[in-house]
Structure 1
Amino acid sequence: MMSLFSDRLQAGQQLSGSLKEYAGRHDIIVLALPRGGVPVAYSIAKTLHAALDVFLVGKLGVPGHEDLALGAISSRGVCVLRPETIALMDIPVDAIDAIAHKELREIKRRERAYHGIRPSLDIEGRVVIVVDDGLVTGATMLAAVRALRHEHPGQIIVAVPVATAESIAELEAEVDALFCLQVPEWIASVGQCYDEPGSPDDAQVIQYLQNASDWLSEGEQEVASGRLPYAPVNAPAVGPSPGV
C-alpha cells in the first residue's frame, strides 16, 4: 500500500478542511491521542483557532505480537478489550491484567510529563474533537470515547485522517459525528499511511502543547482551562459524516 500523507501535520491540515463549521467557536476543544495524534490535532486546532490538549490512552498489545491490539486502556482506567483477538491468541486473564497494569503505569507517567506544563483543560459541556493519526482496530479511540463520556462533554466528535471501515462502523454508534478522509480496504499499521512513519517522542509532544497557546488570547486560555467561567452555546446539528 502506498502512503496517503507526507506527514501527520499535513494530514491534519487536510482534515481541518472537513471541520470548517467548527472554526472560531469558543466551545471547541481539540483532544489528541498521543503520540501520533498530536501533530494531526495541532494542525486542526491551529486552523480552527481552538484549544489543544492530550488525552492518554494506551494500546494493549498481544504478548510477542505487540503491534496486534487485544484492547486499550485510558488514563481513567477505562478498558476496552477485543474478545475475538483474546480468544484467537488464547491469552489468559492474568496476562491481560498484567499488560493492562503495566500500560496504565506508563500512561500515568506520560500524563504527568505532558500536564506538568499546565493542567488538563475543562471539557464539561464542550464540543470535543478527539483526534488520532489513524484507526486500525479502533480499540484505542473507543476506550478514549468511553472514558471521555464520564467527563460530560457536550458532544464528542472523532476526526482521523485514515481508518478501516470496521473501526468506523463501531465508533459511529458511540459518537456524535465522525470525520475521516481515507478508508482503505486494508491497513496493517497506521505508520504505513505516512511517508514519515514515526510518531513524535515525548519531548516533541510537550513542544506541540507549549506552542498550542500561540493562537489563543490570554482570556481564551483562561476559559479553556476552566479558570474563567464558560457559557455553553448551542451546537450545530450534526449531519452525515463526510469522507466515510
Structure 2
Amino acid sequence: MSKVFKNRIDAGQQLADKLEELTLEDNALVLGLPRGGLPVAAEVGNRLNLELDVFNVRKLGVPGQPEVAMGALTEDGTRYLNHDLISALRISDADIEQVAAREQETLDRRAREYREGRQQPSFDGRQVILIDDGLATGATMRAVIESVRRQKPSRITVAVPVAARDSADSMRGITDDFVCPLEPRDFRGVGLWYQDFAQVSDDEVIGILARARRP
C-alpha cells in the first residue's frame, strides 16, 4: 500500500518517471482515454513535452449489469467483444447492438465537445502512447489498440499507473511497450489504489485539452 497514488496527477507524475526510462520518438503522441485517463495523460505530456490529445472509447456494459464489461467501442466504430463472457451470459446480438448504439451516441457527442471541431491527429508513422488511470479487464484498451493499429503507427505504447496482473500480461503480448509502476497481486479495482479517485467531468477534459493546445 506504500505505492497508493494521491490522485490522478500524482499517478501521472509517477507514470512519467517510468516513461522517461524509455527511448521515445520525438514526434510521439500522448492519447488519454476519457475521462479518467486525461489528467494522467496531461502530466505525462507536460513532463515529456509531447503532443496531447484524446482517444474516445466507451465500455460496453452487460445489460442489467453495466459495470461489467462485455467489450468496448471506439468512436470510429471499432469493437472489442469478450465472446466467452457473452456466450456464458447468453447475451443476444440484439442486446449488444442496443448497448453499442447508446454508447456510440455518447462517443459522437464527446468527439464534438472535446475536439471543438478539430480533426483527430494522424497516427501514421508516429509512436502513440495510450494512457488510462488504470487497467482492470483491459477491454477498453484492447479496442483502442485495434483502432490505432489500423492507422499504422510506428509504435504502440500503453502506459497506466496500476493494472491487474492478468491484464498487464495480456497487454505485453499485443503492444510494443507496456509501462505500469504498480501491478498488485490483489488488484480488486482501479479506484482502490487512489486516495482521491473522484469522477472526472466533461468540463475538466475540455479544459485539459484546451490548455494543451496553447502555445
Give the TM-score category using the shorter length: over 0.9
Alignment of 1:160-175 (within 5 A): 160-175=160-175
Partner residue in 1 for 2:136? 136
CA contact (8 A) 1:161 1:180 kept: yes
Partner residue in 2 for 1:87? 87
Partner residue in 2 for 1:111? 111
Partner residue in 2 for 1:226? none
CA contact (8 A) 1:22 1:28 kept: no
Partner residue in 1 for 2:198? 198
Partner residue in 2 for 1:40? 40
Paired residue total: 215
1:46 to partner: Cα distance = 0.3
1:46-89, Cα deviation, whole Å (9 max, x unpaired): 00000000001110111221111000011111111112221232
> In 2, distance between residues paired with 1:93 and 1:25?
42
1:176-208, Cα deviation, whole Å (9 max, x unpaired): 110001112233432222111223111000000
Describe the shift of the 1:25–1:182 C-alpha distance in structure 2 as closer, same or farther (beyond 3 A): same
Describe the shift of the 1:24–1:157 C-alpha distance in structure 2 as closer, same or farther (beyond 3 A): closer
1:4 to partner: Cα distance = 1.8
Partner residue in 2 for 1:221? none
Partner residue in 2 for 1:242? none
> In 1, distance between residues paired with 2:64 and 2:2?
27
Q: Secondary structure at the match of 1:182?
A: coil
CA contact (8 A) 1:73 1:80 kept: yes
Amino acid aligned to 2:16: S
What is the aligned-residue RMSD (CA, Å)?
1.9
TM superposition score normalised by structure 1: 0.82
1:109 to partner: Cα distance = 0.8
- Percent identical among aligned pairs is 38
Greater Rg over alpha carbons, structure:
1
CA contact (8 A) 1:2 1:193 kept: no
Partner residue in 2 for 1:234? none
Q: Unaligned 5+ residue runs, structure 2?
A: none
> In 2, distance between residues paired with 1:115 and 1:190?
27
1:66-120, Cα deviation, whole Å (9 max, x unpaired): 1110000111111111122212322122101110111111111101111116332
> In 1, distance between residues paired with 2:108 and 2:169?
30
> In 2, distance between residues paired with 1:3 and 1:29?
27
> In 1, distance between residues paired with 2:151 and 2:180?
24
CA contact (8 A) 1:7 1:196 kept: yes
Partner residue in 2 for 1:146? 146
Q: Unaligned 5+ residue runs, structure 1?
A: 218-244
CA contact (8 A) 1:3 1:192 kept: no
Describe the shift of the 1:164–1:38 C-alpha distance in structure 2 as closer, same or farther (beyond 3 A): same
> In 2, distance between residues paired with 1:110 and 1:188?
29
1:24 to partner: Cα distance = 8.2
